[in-house]
Structure 1
Amino acid sequence: MEITLQPVLIETQSRDTEGRLAFVDGKLVAVLVRLSEELHGADGLAGQWCVEAGFGACATDVLSVWFDSLEAARSWIAERISASSPTG
């Protein structure tokens, strides 16, 4: 399984604009956004990545899954895809 995280700017109508499009084998499975210091510094979430939108096995409630790093997000995506595959 090839997981690709493509940098993208996201119009969230907030300062949380740094994003990644997450692809598995060329298929879009999630949109990740990095939480800004301005909005999330006080709650301790600044710099973390969250799932803004998920598709298929990566579908989840908005802002309900956070990651300390993109590698952690990549691992979560791999686990979700593997668990949902017919042979997984």
Structure 2
Amino acid sequence: MVEITLQPVQIGTQSEDTEGRLAFTDGKLVAVLVRLSAELHGATGLAGQWCVEAGFGACATDVLSVWFDSLEAARGWMAEQLSIRQ
């Protein structure tokens, strides 16, 4: 299985969604994850979810099109994408 390392980061989204993680594998950035805030996403039921703000290579997606309940779920999805497309 592909190893994904997550590094905490604050993201300048110009919104309340600022908690983020940089996702790396083999020293390469594969995705930027952002945690959806209650202020902006509480009414939609997505508050607290993690999404791919930007994905690269095998992890490329449309903006805010992939959501995860946890960082472990996000890590699993990224590992699967990277395994499929290598």
Q: Is the 8 A contact 2:17 2:37 kept in 1?
A: yes
- Structure 1 residue aligned with 2:14: 13
Query: TM-score normalized by structure 2?
Result: 0.97
| Identical positions, percent | 84
- Structure 2 residue aligned with 1:80: 81
**CA shift at 1:25, angstroms?**
1.4
Structure 2 Cα separation of the partners of residues 2 and 78 of structure 1: 7
The size of the alignment, in residue pairs, is 85
Find the residue that maps to 1:22 and give its secondary structure: strand
Unaligned runs of 5+ in 2: none
Find the residue that maps to 1:21 and give its secondary structure: strand
Structure 2 Cα separation of the partners of residues 75 and 34 of structure 1: 17
- Structure 2 residue aligned with 1:44: 45
Q: Is the 8 A contact 2:3 2:79 kept in 1?
A: no
Structure 1: 4+ residue segments shifted above 4 A: none
Structure 1 Cα separation of the partners of residues 9 and 70 of structure 2: 16
Match of 2:34, as an amino acid? V
With CA pairs under 8 Å and 6+ residues apart, which has the higher RCO, 1 or 2? 2
